[in-house]
Structure 1
């Protein structure tokens, strides 16, 4: 029974992986990279500004 369960899980995982890989375009990958970069930069500057505003250096 455990082998059958493993075969089912690996079949579902493999099918999902293959169906997604063939549907992702280069445009989607580049868009994701650009959005991740923008998110990281904004997060860094917001953290930096909040640290400056609420710093206890009097």
Structure 2
């Protein structure tokens, strides 16, 4: 692999990620964190509820 080619790829990737990071607002990040935590909590509760129901009706 050519050294210049690697530098070009790293520069392109770094510039792209940096420009994306600057364009994302704090509100969007907070909204994503809140929605992910709500989704994870609901998924956990539903999994526990289904596990309880399956074990209850299996007896």
Scaled by the length of structure 2, what TM-score is found? 0.81
Higher helix share: 2
Aligned residue pairs total 58
Scaled by the length of structure 1, what TM-score is found? 0.82
Instruction: Give the match for residue 55 of structure 1.
Output: 55
Deviation at 1:53, TM superposition (A): 1.6
Cα shift readout 1:1-56 (whole Å, capped 9, x = no counterpart): 43122112201211111111110111011101110111111111111111112227
Unaligned runs of 5+ in 1: none
1:7 aligns with 2:1: no
CA RMSD of aligned residues (A): 1.7
Ranges of 4+ aligned residues in structure 1 off by more than 2 Å = none
Unaligned runs of 5+ in 2: none
